[in-house]
Structure 1
């Protein structure tokens, strides 16, 4: 099945995305066939005045602490296999699992990318610089805290809640402490950073999310829009009520440690 420009334009209008900051999570394969692919999808958002923000994570820079620091409840049991390459925000390195749409944003000539060496975000649009300015190595989810993000929309395009990154910030809002990792950078040497936990169990939050979502079929893809502030509120409350609600298995150290409250410094 083909997805036409008019299908996308109609969804942007129906879901009230025009001129909004959009935290986008996208599986391009969900569309069927879209002429122009991810680049055309991005063009249509930008032509509607949207500011498009995507996670552009990369794990290649991860390295061991230069001081040999080990924190308790830090989401791993010594199993990290590390051969780091330095992070450079001017480069376009990206974890392949981020998907074709995130890669399209990252490769856009006007994109801005943050300096976080493992959990960078990239954005294009009129508010890109302002939204991204609040992230740093320790405030990894600062992009959800800017004034410009207050009326933002989290948009899921053909993906499940397991791919919705701001849920990690909801864990932090619920009182959990983010994990620490170290990363090699091209210009700052080795830096300590905060990162999120496992997202494989975020699907268990679907009953909470269904109360605040709006849906629209776009070709073969299902688009689901959530007001950012409402998403953070319902997910944080779910974590407060049941700290283990998103635990993916009994064998995941990240889920185990985050259920206990996260890292202990």
Structure 2
């Protein structure tokens, strides 16, 4: 059994404290049995760290495919074949609101943070973020509908850290920011934003299933401990951005798979098009 005190101790072993600013990617089950469950993890995070930024996306409820007649180069997502098919999908989706639950794929910890800490939350219809602590408003104000990863960019300016609790770099959205700054993984995606109303949203990131390949490049910058059964890692945002940038500058296909049917192929082609445009 893991207690809230043990989680707090583990976070402090990583060097985190009241002045820290972190983006948290997490898996509750990675800890083993936690006394107090996800709320205990939220207690430890908010009591130990100064500012906690966490994902709050609603893609599973609000996300829809592209409508007909919206071909975007290297977008990795085919438009609906007819307006009838698109309208059916739109009817099935849920219109975005700040009260929607967080996408279940993001885990129980961010949803529990939303329910128990009443954090500030951004209004991006697909890629929302939430934050608690002194720098919360500053981080969240950096998100725009056309630049969803703005809070991570601002976190980097504030010398913040990526905190991985029982998850790998496939959950590390900061790598997507490095991609996008180099013209890669900048997709147009679509969401339901009102009754029979949809919006086109640019610069939504793509696939991440090969991101664990960055680990050797980050070894020297990573501080690690074990909390219960959880592998907990802290890496400065600046180091993640720098390592991903070096890899992509050396190879446009870095951290991408080779499947022609995957969004990785579209991300690669975006990067190549950027290089050709120089």
The answer to whether 1:220 aligns with 2:229 is yes
Moved more, 65-74 or 122-131: 65-74
* Inter-partner Cα distance in structure 2 for 1:102 and 1:188: 29
The answer to whether 1:167 aligns with 2:167 is no
* Inter-partner Cα distance in structure 1 for 2:197 and 2:161: 35
Tell me the residue number matched to 2:48. 48
The answer to whether 1:248 aligns with 2:257 is yes
Q: CA RMSD in A?
A: 2.5
1:84 aligns with one of 88, 93, 96:
93
> Residues 117-170 of structure 1: CA distance to partner in whole angstroms, max 9, x if unpaired?
011111122221111111011111100222785211100011111111111101
2:137 aligns with one of 105, 108, 129:
129
Query: How do 1:14-93 and structure 2 match up within 5 A?
Result: 14-19=13-18, 20-59=20-59, 60-64=61-65, 68-78=69-79, 82=89, 83-89=92-98, 91-93=99-101
Tell me the residue number matched to 2:198. 190
Q: TM-score, normalised by structure 1?
A: 0.90
* Inter-partner Cα distance in structure 2 for 1:189 and 1:155: 36
Tell me the residue number matched to 1:5. 4
1:155/1:177 CA distance change after superposition, 3 Å? closer
> Does the CA contact (< 8 Å) of 1:112 and 1:123 recur in 2?
yes
Query: How do 1:92-111 and structure 2 match up within 5 A?
Result: 92-111=100-119
**Secondary structure of 1:261's partner?**
helix
> Residues 9-48 of structure 1: CA distance to partner in whole angstroms, max 9, x if unpaired?
2222221211211100111111011111111111122222
**Secondary structure of 2:270's partner?**
coil
* Inter-partner Cα distance in structure 2 for 1:22 and 1:8: 15
> Does the CA contact (< 8 Å) of 1:58 and 1:95 recur in 2?
yes
Q: Which has the higher contact order (CA 8 A, sep 6+)?
A: 1
1:116 aligns with one of 113, 121, 124:
124
The answer to whether 1:180 aligns with 2:161 is no
1:134/1:42 CA distance change after superposition, 3 Å? same
* Inter-partner Cα distance in structure 2 for 1:262 and 1:120: 25
Question: When the two structures are aligned, how many residues end up with a matched partner?
Answer: 263
* Inter-partner Cα distance in structure 1 for 2:207 and 2:146: 18
**Secondary structure of 1:146's partner?**
helix
Structure 2 unaligned blocks of 5 or more: 274-278
Q: Deviation above 3 Å: which 4+ runs of structure 1?
A: 63-68, 77-83, 186-189
